[in-house]
Amino acid sequence: MSPLHLGKSEQDFGVCLQVVCPHCQQESEFRLVLRAGALKLFGLPVADLGGVYELICVGCKFRKDVAADELTAAQSAVRLHADLREGNLTAEQYATALDALDFPTHRALRDEAATWPCPACNEKVPAALNGCWKCNSPKPGLSKPESPVSDELPPLPNAVTRSGNSWEH
Ligand SMILES: [Zn+2]
Ligand SMILES: [Zn+2]
């Protein structure tokens, strides 16, 4: 029996990804599940959705939707993980094969879970944040703020033009 208890409307396809979970920040296994259901309007089924596919972190139950057109990639990922578990693939081969899949949800999870080290206090800050959550330092390399920038820049004062700066090496 699977340790993961699923409702009867859920079908479990097995472990799909072994990545760092952006929610619990642990290296975790994500299972691919199908939550079956029909789209109903005022109690009447208007469309058979064939279910909604989701990835679920086995650690914290964080869920991430899988788009219908990613299903082939998701099922390939399930097979890859089975190969990894059975020793047919090394961890490195698994990571490479996973990267080769056209699987945007995997990339999204990885990007969300990625962290950047704060240059000021060394805190690991989630990639989704543009500033350190401890000391408020801005993310390194974030040169352009996402605010609309006016085309009309004030004219540079003459004093700024290359005073003391050499163009030669
Ligand atoms: Zn998690
Ligand atoms: Zn910091």
pLDDT digits (tens, 9 = 90+) for 83-118: 999 999 999 999 999 999 999 999 999 888 888 889
Q: What is the pTM of this model?
A: 0.61
Q: Assign 3-state DSSP to the chain and report helix, strand, coil percentages, each to 5.
A: 25, 30, 50
How far is the centre of ligand 2, averaged over its atoms, from the C-alpha of 80 (Å)? 38
CA 62–ligand 2 middle distance (angstroms): 27
pLDDT at 18 over 70: yes
Place of tokens 């029996």: 1
Please tell me the distance between residue 20's alpha carbon and the centre of ligand 1 in angstroms.
8
CA of 28, nearest ligand number: 1
Q: Strand 52-57 to strand 27-35: parallel, antiparallel, or no bridges (unpaired)?
A: antiparallel
Among all ligands shown, which has an atom nearest to the Cα of 137?
2
* Residue 79 pLDDT greater than 90, yes or no: yes
80 CA distance to ligand 1 middle (Å):
20
User: Is residue 160 pLDDT above 60, yes or no?
Assistant: no
Compute the distance from residue 150 Cα to the ligand 1 centre, in Å.
Answer: 41
Instruction: Name the closest ligand to CA 24.
Output: 1
Partner residues linked to 33 by β-bridges:
12, 54
Question: 10 falls in which pLDDT band (50, 70, 90)?
Answer: confident
CA distance 88 to 28: 20
Q: Is residue 134 over pLDDT 70?
A: yes
Ligand found nearest the CA of 125: 2
CA–CA dist 71, 60 (Å, integer): 23
Task: Share the mean pLDDT of the chain.
Answer: 81
35-49, pLDDT tens digit by residue? 876 667 777 766 665
**Span 13-34, average pLDDT:** 92
- pLDDT at residue 75 greater than cutoff 80: yes
What is the Å distance from ligand 1's center to 160 Cα?
A: 52
How much is the pLDDT for 127? 79
pLDDT tens across 137-149, in order? 998 876 554 555 5
